[in-house]
Amino acid sequence: MELRVRALETVLTQKGYIDPEALDVLIDTYQTRIGPRNGARVVARAWTDRTYREWLRRDATAAIASLGYSGRQGEHMVVVENTPTQHNLVVCTLCSCYPWPVLGLPPTWYKSAPYRSRAVREPRGVLAEFGVRLAADTEVRVWDSTAEVRYLVLPMRPPGTEGLDEDALAALVTRDSMIGTGLPLAPPARAR
Ligand SMILES: [Co+2]
């Protein structure tokens, strides 16, 4: 795969369609500057600010952009909220559509054929492999990303986090908890 990508990049460069330096800047930006910490800030804000949470429900793109996170692959954001009765899981069955401005670049497994097909066919099996066990009466809802719409899961705020501020809350929000293949971390013992 790496060889094929390099060959493609060489051809496109020779034809003058891409500038390798611009490509490097883009990749570096999403790999080192933009990543799941952005999404974690969104979630932590939603956990502490009811007005912001309602804004997210109404117009996630604008609410997320208000924190400074916007741009390509995040033009049309939808936030799906986990509740005791519904767990949300995000996939792109067709390719690897992913909300770059809030989560950075997608993990390899997200782009893999088995995840893309099994997330739809047997979401509970996939969740179990990620170590996520849900109550039997929790419904699993699978959201298929497209070039138009990108989803961000708003996980449930973990119990025992009442005294934590936004920074401490954001530290509990994992990338996978915003894709739906994970849950937020438990708070450190002294905070409980
Ligand atoms: Co896609």
d(CA 83, CA 49): 17
- 174 alpha carbon to ligand 1 midpoint, in Å? 22
Tokens 């497994």 label which residue? 109
d(CA 168, CA 176): 18
Q: What is the number of other CB atoms lying within 10 angstroms of the CB of residue 107?
A: 17
Across the strands, what pairs with 153? 80
- 90 alpha carbon to ligand 1 midpoint, in Å? 11
Structure tokens at 26: 């883009």
- 49 alpha carbon to ligand 1 midpoint, in Å? 32
- 147 alpha carbon to ligand 1 midpoint, in Å? 6
Nearest alpha-carbon partner for 76 in 89, 62, 57, 87: 62
Residue pLDDT, tens place only, 23-40:
888 888 887 788 899 999
Structure tokens at 92: 């792109």
pLDDT of residue 63: 97
Residues with a beta carbon under 5 angstroms from ion ligand 1: 92, 94-95, 97
- 143 alpha carbon to ligand 1 midpoint, in Å? 12
Enzyme catalytic residues: 92, 95-97
Across the strands, what pairs with 150? 77
pLDDT of residue 20: 87
Q: What is the number of other CB atoms lying within 10 angstroms of the CB of residue 117?
A: 13
The answer to whether the beta carbons of residues 64 and 42 sit under 8 Å apart is yes
d(CA 57, CA 3): 43
Q: Which residues of the chain have pLDDT under 50?
A: 192
pLDDT of residue 188: 85
